[in-house]
Chains A and B, each alone.
Chain A
Amino acid sequence: MTQPFLSIRKLRKAFGAFTAVHDVTLDIPKGEFLTFLGPSGSGKSTTLYAIAGFQDPSSGDVLLEGKSLLAVPPHKRNIGMVFQRYTLFPHLSVAENVAFPLRVRRRPEAEVKRKVADMLGLVRLESFAERLPGALSGGQQQRVALARALAYDPPILLMDEPLSALDKKLREEIQAEIRRIHRETGVTILYVTHDQEEALHLSDRIALFRDGRIEQTGTGEDLYLRPATDFVAGFIGNSNFLAAEHLETVGGAATIRLGDGSLVSGISANGRFERGQKTRLMIRPEAFRLERSPTSAELAVEIVDVAFYGERRRIVARTAAGQEIDIRPTSAAMASQEATPRHRQVFFDPGAAFLFPA
């Protein structure tokens, strides 16, 4: 078996009686962009800080190319990190900030100069070399921080919510920058965020944290289309949960009875369910169709509201059982007059609906 590049083994961190991280185990191949996603307090930052060396884990291990990092102090780990807050050295110019890791490593002056120029080119801030960090915008400061963290070619780059202090437009701009830099440098990136959209479009793989445990690890598509738990389904994207009674499961395809008494077969079942067990059926808002198809299941709803959201419409509808659901057909799929029948059928593919315990 090949040895994983970075390996987190049964990592546990307790603060007194509170356990922030429960036995997290994860292997990260070289060059991967992996995101720790989760609500605040889910242990994602604590795990990252244990890798950086700022938190001593209560038990477990962190291995880089098979060697434990735990006994190595932070300044000898050779890891790059970009923090949530701006942590540039305020008394040093942009160029000197980027040069700092090279200077403390006593690299020759010519190499420092060349590397600083390369890095500032990478983050496109060549013309700001002589400025002090205080004279830069938040986005520029984080780009300098990125250049500083990459200047010494670290094998791993840690990023702890680096964009959370920036506004939306700037955030998107720097996300594109981060993707480009990951492509160009091939550095392994561990990225922490609570923003699912950011996680979805930046990462190769996402580890979704909840209460100090990893709920599911997989590509964004895995998490979105094949959520392992209702927590994952609820956290990634928008979801409708309909109350349903489980009747039987044959070969992973469940048959259920919805609140209005209608039967639906061919549902993707997550786990084992008893006959008659109360369950929740998860359907993504955009999985609903307004047109019937040969395989589709149907649901009778009353349209409450229709709003125009550009490429999509957002329909708020109420089921016969009185549950409100969110439906997002493309605007092209639905002319505005179609909203007029207040009572109508909507359709969904049972394979795109998931059953979870209630």
Chain B
Amino acid sequence: MSVETQRSIATMRMPGGLGSLLPALILIGLFFVVPVLALLLRSVTEPAPGLQNYSALLGDGTYARVFFNTFLVAAVVTIVTVLVAFPVAWMLAIMPPALASIVFGVIILSMWTNLLTRTYAWMVLLQRTGVINRALMASGIIDQPLPLINNLTGVTIGMVYIMLPFMILPLVGTLRAIDPMTLRAAALCGASPFQAFRRILLPLSLPGIAAGGLMVFVMSLGYFVTPALLGGTSNMMLAEMIAQMIQSLLNWGLGSAAAFILLVVTMALYALQLRLVGARRATGGA
């Protein structure tokens, strides 16, 4: 019987030859591989063949600032998102399931709301004469409006808000897998709530933090709408720069090169995470 089972599994796993994969391969080739190759080609052929676009991007101080700023914003957004998402995810993980699914619904609903709408809503809230500044001034806490928009603060607030679900979802999965009895055991062993968090809960939730963090970081690197609307001119991000190069300057070569650099960095980060997760699995299984 076990031989039979093995055989049926073997036939199940056998794809109907490469033929059945063909439509999918064509789709991926046509819509993903070809455009990326075209991008790469443009970046080394326009306006003239050679690597001058790349040397311009990597050698110039202005562009370097944009790169630096992009990574800075992505890093700040990732860190703040982790800090905000962790308590929410923990609450969701220990909540009664019925209540948790309602809260989940609300979080998912916010993901489905139009991005532009949400970003404009933040503009209304954050601007000099916006709801937040007015409320704070009316209550006498401040007498000058806080600079909440057109700077790093505005971008961070707007983007963290958008990125939260992408952090919360993987984190809840990881936290739910942690047996709450483990934390009780830690408490009886003499661990204060902080020690239990620091030595048990945090290390055990690291895979979720890493997965969510990488997703948020990578998505933030290429973000356009929110930084463009809530950020200032002094902290332009890469996506905005690419848009400017192509739309205003019509410099397709330079824009393509910048986009390609972003792609390479993103893939490098993804590979790094795969390695880290892989290494963790390897030691975990030993």
B264 at the interface (CB under 8 A from A): no
Task: Give the nearest-CB partner of B198 in chain A.
Answer: A104
In residues 272-290 of chain A, which contact B (Cβ within 8 Å)? none
Q: Using Cβ atoms and an 8 Å threshold, which residues of chain A touch B286?
A: 132, 135
Q: Does A350 interact with chain B (Cβ within 8 Å)?
A: no
Please determine whether B181 and A87 come into contact, CB atoms closer than 8 angstroms.
Answer: yes
Task: Kindly state whether residue A12 has any CB partner on chain B within 8 Å.
Answer: no
Q: Are A78 and B190 in contact (CB under 8 A)?
A: yes
Any B CB within 8 A of the CB of A128: no
| Chain B residues with CB below 8 A from A73, complex form | 187
In the complex, the answer to whether B188 meets A81 with C-beta atoms within 8 Å is: yes
Please determine whether B188 and A100 come into contact, CB atoms closer than 8 angstroms. Answer: no
CB-defined contacts of A101 to chain B, threshold 8 Å: 189-191
Interface residue A54 (Cβ < 8 Å from any Cβ of B): yes
Chain B residues whose CB sits within 8 angstroms of the CB of A53 once the complex forms: 187-188
Residues of B197-219 whose CB lies within 8 A of A: 199-200, 203-204
Q: Is residue B184 contacting chain A, with contact meaning CB distance below 8 A?
A: yes
Check: B60 CB closer than 8 A to any chain A CB.
no
With an 8 A cutoff between CB atoms, is A80 at the interface? yes
B185 — nearest CB in chain A belongs to which residue? Answer: A87
Find residues 180-196 in chain B having any chain A CB closer than 8 Å to their own CB: 181-182, 184-193, 195-196
Residues of A within 8 Å of B185, CB to CB, are 81, 83, 87-89, 145, 148
Q: Are A85 and B190 within 8 A (Cβ)?
A: no
Question: How many inter-chain residue pairs (CB < 8 Å) link A and B?
Answer: 75
B182, A89: Cβ atoms closer than 8 Å: yes
Cβ–Cβ contact A75 & B192, under 8 A: yes
Determine if B284 and A134 form an interchain contact, defined as CB atoms under 8 angstroms apart: yes
CB distance from A110 to the nearest CB of B (A): 19
Within 8 A of A (CB), among B100-136: none
State the Cβ distance, B283 to closest chain A Cβ, in Å.
Answer: 8
Residues of A within 8 Å of B4, CB to CB, are none
Q: Please measure, in the bound complex, the distance between the C-alpha atom of A81 and the C-alpha atom of B199, giving whole angstroms.
A: 19
Determine how close the nearest CB of chain A comes to the CB of B46; give it in whole angstroms.
51
B-side interface residues, number (CB < 8 Å):
22
Nearest CB on A from B22, distance (A)? 41
Tell me if A33 is interfacial: C-beta within 8 Å of chain B: no
Inter-chain contact B188/A80, CB cutoff 8 Å: yes
Residues on the B chain within 8 Å of A81, using CB: 185, 188
Closest to B191 in A: A104
Contact assessment for A75 and B181 in the assembled complex, using a CB-CB cutoff below 8 Å: no
Cβ of A152 within 8 Å of any chain B Cβ, yes or no, is: yes
Interface string of A173-217 (1 = CB under 8 A from B): 000000000000000000000000000000000000000000000
Alpha-carbon gap, A80 to B189, bound state (A): 7
Chain B residue numbers with a CB within 8 Å of A77 are: 188
Residues of chain B with a CB closer than 8 A to A121's CB: none
Question: Are B188 and A52 in touch, CB under 8 angstroms?
Answer: yes
Does A168 touch B at the CB level, under 8 Å?
A: no
Docked CA distance A76–B187 (Å): 8
Chain A 96-141 interface residues, beta-carbon cutoff 8 Å to B: 100-101, 103-105, 132, 134-135
Q: Smallest distance from the beta carbon of A45 to chain B beta carbons, Å?
A: 13
Chain B hits for A306, CB < 8 A: none
A39 in contact (CB, < 8 A) = no
Contact A74 B184 (CB under 8 A): yes
Please give the distance in Å from B102's CB to the nearest CB on chain A: 23
B181 A91 Cβ-Cβ under 8 A: no
Q: Are A148 and B189 in contact (CB under 8 A)?
A: yes
When C-beta atoms are compared, the residue in chain B nearest to A160 turns out to be: B181
Complex interface: chain A residues within 8 A of B187 (CB): 53, 73-75
* Residue A237 CB within 8 A of the other chain: no
Say whether A320 faces chain B, with CB atoms less than 8 Å apart. no
CB nearest to A52 among chain B residues: B188
Please tell me if the beta carbons of A85 and B179 are within 8 angstroms of each other in the complex: yes
Check if A100 sits within 8 Å of B284, measured CB to CB: no
What distance in Å separates the Cβ of A22 from its nearest Cβ neighbour in chain B? 25
Chain B min CB distance to A119 (Å): 13
How would residues 141 to 182 of chain A score, 1 for a CB under 8 Å from any chain B CB and 0 otherwise? Answer: 000010011001000000000000000000000000000000
Set of chain B residues within 8 Å of A299, measured between Cβ atoms: none
13 contacts between A and B (CB under 8 A): A52-B188, A75-B187, A76-B190, A83-B184, A83-B185, A85-B181, A87-B185, A88-B182, A89-B200, A100-B199, A101-B189, A101-B190, A152-B190
Which residues of B are at the interface with A, using a C-beta cutoff of 8 A?
179, 181-182, 184-193, 195-196, 199-200, 203-204, 284-286
Q: Can you name 17 extra interface pairs (CB under 8 A) apart from A83-B181, A104-B191?
A: A52-B188, A75-B187, A75-B191, A81-B185, A87-B179, A87-B185, A89-B204, A90-B204, A100-B199, A101-B189, A101-B190, A103-B199, A104-B192, A132-B284, A134-B284, A148-B189, A152-B190
What 3 A-B pairs have minimum CB-CB distances, sorted nearest first?
Answer: A101-B189, A87-B185, A74-B187
